[in-house]
Amino acid sequence: SFSALSPRVLHLADLSPAVTMGEEQVFMAKLAEQAERYDEMVKYMKELVESSSSSTLGLEERNLLSVAYKNLVGARRASLRVIGSIEAKEIEKGSAMAEKIRLYKVKVEEELENICNEILSLLDNHLLSSPDAESKVFYQKMKADYLRYKAEFKSGAEKSEISTEADGAYKAATEVATKELAPTHPIRLGLALNYSVFLYEVQSEQSRACELAKQSFDDAIAELDTLDEESYKDSTLIMQLLRDNLTLWTSDDNEN
């Protein structure tokens, strides 16, 4: 699900007397999520993935893995935006502190890169071989997203190389999604949303971003009546985000 995930309520019944290692890791990951201790949530989910004999996680496990890494990375991406803004102001003033800020920014970038590399390694070595089409799209999209997060703070040839890799991962996910998932499927829509943002913000391919967002929105609208109740909220939320981006991007283009 791409909607805001409410905290998972834990019950003692969630753990039977004879708990498996996997059940314990999932329980502890949920506990860490409720306590907002995302480093530990990541640790439990990483252990689960690495100890599993199967490349297919259940829906709940898949979402826990996604939420854990998204929170770790999200905090650092937000930090980098704040640090970058302060750095620009200090450079403009000719401040002696500008170099200190730059070094601090490098430290946060290294943390972010390490987290991205960790999840990318898990995806490549354990999860991308999943035979299930929905899981395959989910993990391929995840791979593309974390390559995008790496590309965001790189420059020059390194940025170009990582961006090309991210573009390839988004294309691979889109190919499977187009064949196997309905246009209204939340994972297919979420993929289109993130891919279009990547094209607009990282690749500066504004027209391609708008085309993708519009096509995905139109395809979903055409099949809206086929949506089941379970997916309706998630799908329509992402459709709204696609439309909001389109409105913003086309108004930006008009101003330019």
Instruction: Delineate the domains of the chain, giving CATH numbers in brackets.
Output: 1-129 (1.20.190.20), 132-144+158-256 (1.20.190.20)
Lowest-confidence region among 23-37, 48-62, 99-113: 48-62
- What average pLDDT does range 125-149 have in this prediction? 95
Average pLDDT (32-50) is: 96
Lowest mean pLDDT among 80-84, 132-136, 251-255: 251-255
pLDDT at 228: 80
Q: Average pLDDT for residues 23-51, to the nearest whole number?
A: 96
Q: Which ranges in the chain belong to alpha helices (H)?
A: 21-34, 38-51, 59-93, 98-122, 133-152, 156-180, 186-201, 206-222, 229-255
For 152-165, what is the mean pLDDT? Answer: 95
User: Is residue 238's pLDDT more than 70?
Assistant: yes
Q: What percent of the chain has pLDDT over 90?
A: 80
pLDDT at 131 over 70: yes
Q: Which of 87, 102, 97, 178 is nearest to 133 (CA)?
A: 178
Local confidence band at 252 (pLDDT 50, 70, 90 cut-offs)? confident
Where residue 78 falls among pLDDT bands split at 50, 70, 90?
very high
Mean pLDDT of the chain: 91
| pLDDT exceeds cutoff 60 at 5 | no
199, 209 Cβ separation under 8 angstroms: yes
> Does residue 14 surpass a pLDDT of 60?
no
Q: Long-range CB contacts (< 8 A, 24+ apart) of 192-197?
A: 192/216, 192/242, 193/238, 193/241, 193/242, 193/245, 194/141, 194/144, 194/145, 194/148, 194/170, 195/144, 195/170, 196/242, 196/245, 197/245
